[in-house]
Structure 1
Amino acid sequence: MKAEQRRSQIITLLEQKGSVLVDDLVERFGVSHVTIRKDLTELEARGLLHRTHGGATYTHKSLFNPSFREKVNLQQAEKQAIVQAALAYIEEADTLILDSGSTTLLLARLLKRHFRSLYIITNSIPIASELADTQWEILLTGGQLRHHSMALIGPAAVRILEAYHADKAFMCATGVSIGKGYTTPNPYEAQTKQAMLKAADTAIALVDSSKLGRATLASFAALSEVGLLITDTGAPPEFMAELERHGHACYRALPEGPSGVARAG
């Protein structure tokens, strides 16, 4: 097993249990104490956990991947503004990829009020459920269920996405940074997101300002691979200006919705 795969599984265990012990990880992965301590040190350096005597725990800094139900209730006003702004980039009868996430779930709810016919490709069980009462064509990918995001991920999801083409992909991320681009806590989720990007003509990221200027475990897109970032007015001006200096198109969504989309900077 590669180091990044092992570290991803350590993070998953932390999500489930809240703490881990070095001895348990050594037994689970069949590696040395030195290797596990190196893994924990690396993950702590990324701000993803807090080292303790004999193990590791979550801290307030490492709650980067709260459960899906918790995420739906976070940054509500900002996310509503973002999805209102996203409507301006959607046309009737478009084929859309909707990435798994609380912001894209809000977008799905909004789409039902504004469009008669869309083709939706998604790996999100909540989004598929939300749109089940429409007459639209809905393709739910297969894959392994990631409980914390309620997403279907992994090789099976990638194979499905490779067989399809979409006009636009609306993507979520748990972090956006200059050096790492767009990131997510899980390498298999990152692979699925990469397949979404390849399947779409245009990628639009919907990311609230709380996720800007930081990176989580796995990168899935360079800044140049995303056509537009829509965020909110809480976005740090300096960071937004730096993104634009790197040639990344960025917009901050105002509370008024689609009519109030202001260019960052």
Structure 2
Amino acid sequence: MAPGRPQAKGGGAPMKQRRTQQRRDEILALATDVGLTNVDDLAERFGVTASTIRRDLATLSSDGRLARTYGGAISTSHLPEASLLQRRSEALDAKRSIVSWAAGQVERGESIFLDAGSTTALLARELTTRQTPATVTTSSLPVVSQLQSASALTVQCLGGRLRPLSGAFVGPLAEASLDRMSFDRAFISADGVTADRGLCEAELEQTRFKEIVARRTRSLYVLAHAAKLGHAPFDAWARLDLPWTLVTDEAAPESALDEFRAAGISVVVAPAVATA
């Protein structure tokens, strides 16, 4: 009997992993159906300790599938649109890596477009430090704020309806302005991005605006850190014609990147940058 014991113990590990994965899948399904999940309720439902549930929620949260709340978690599909202020400190190291690479693509004398978003606002700040002469067009007030003292840059801001959450101008006036412009490079953001559906946003006006920008640029870059890949928090989508380039960070799983490559999308994994 003794020789068989190590074999039984080894066979138990995969079984435990399957149970853990099944429990986490059920937790995600519950959060999607009812919105909010509670640690104590989940522990009682699955017959495990509260600390086990907290580990489950931490894993699902790090994967971008749930967002932690006090005492539990909520499905990301139930989250309202976050403000630019709320997003400014999210995945900061990843965003710094992305904007460092992106700023390095801008060449002297080019015309570029910077979309609204926390990552593009960081890119604007990076461009002011590099002082590469260029013309920058944007629909974002935070981007304009970053660029207003950059003597090497010519700045153009589009008008339209102001979205307070993002500090961006959208709508017919902004779209009409784009008809008179073209860009060497455009750097755009998204709330989520998938290989098959494109860019996910909170409003249809945002998706239409990004599609127009994409048609007016020679080189298009979508700046999205790892947590946004495969993420679909809203129902509005922008479809992008090839070619375009996804720029993400080193935390992006290779399996997710392979989906974009298989769809004919160029992928850049920006190397990490040293922080002070």
TM-score (norm 2): 0.69
**Bigger relative CO (Cα 8 Å, ≥ 6 apart):** 1
Q: 1:153 aligns with which of 170, 178, 182?
A: 170
Distance in 1 (alpha carbons) for counterparts of 2:87 and 2:243: 23
Report what 1:188 is aligned to: 205
Distance in 2 (alpha carbons) for counterparts of 1:207 and 1:195: 19
Amino acid at match of 2:242: E
Q: 1:138 aligns with which of 155, 160, 163?
A: 155
Report what 2:262 is aligned to: 245
Q: Give 1:48 deviation, angstroms.
A: 11
* Deviations 1:138-158 (CA, angstroms, capped at 9, x unpaired): 111011011111110011100
Contact 1:48–1:64 (8 Å) recurs in 2? no
Report what 2:128 is aligned to: 112
1:79 aligns with 2:95: yes
1:123 aligns with 2:143: no
Classify the secondary structure of the residue corresponding to 1:89.
coil
Report what 1:212 is aligned to: 229
Classify the secondary structure of the residue corresponding to 1:96.
strand
**What aligned pairs does 1:42-121 form with structure 2 within 5 A after superposition?**
50=35, 59-61=74-76, 62-63=78-79, 65-121=81-137
Classify the secondary structure of the residue corresponding to 2:104.
helix
| Larger-gyration structure (1/2) | 2
Q: Give 1:187 deviation, angstroms.
A: 0.4
Structure 1 vs Structure 2 CA RMSD: 2.3
Tell me the percent identity: 27
Contact 1:177–1:212 (8 Å) recurs in 2? yes
Report what 1:221 is aligned to: 239
Contact 1:183–1:221 (8 Å) recurs in 2? no
Distance in 2 (alpha carbons) for counterparts of 1:78 and 1:48: 31
Contact 1:105–1:127 (8 Å) recurs in 2? yes
Contact 2:242–2:264 (8 Å) recurs in 1? no
**What aligned pairs does 1:191-202 form with structure 2 within 5 A after superposition?**
191-202=208-219
How many residue pairs were aligned?
205
Contact 2:211–2:239 (8 Å) recurs in 1? yes
Unaligned runs of 5+ in 1: 1-46, 52-57, 258-265
Q: Give 1:65 deviation, angstroms.
A: 2.5
**What aligned pairs does 1:22-33 form with structure 2 within 5 A after superposition?**
none
Contact 1:92–1:115 (8 Å) recurs in 2? no
Amino acid at match of 1:115: Q
Report what 1:172 is aligned to: 189
Report what 1:18 is aligned to: none
* Deviations 1:108-149 (CA, angstroms, capped at 9, x unpaired): 000011124110110000101111112322111011011111
Unaligned runs of 5+ in 2: 1-31, 37-72
Q: Give 1:59 deviation, angstroms.
A: 4.1
Report what 1:5 is aligned to: none
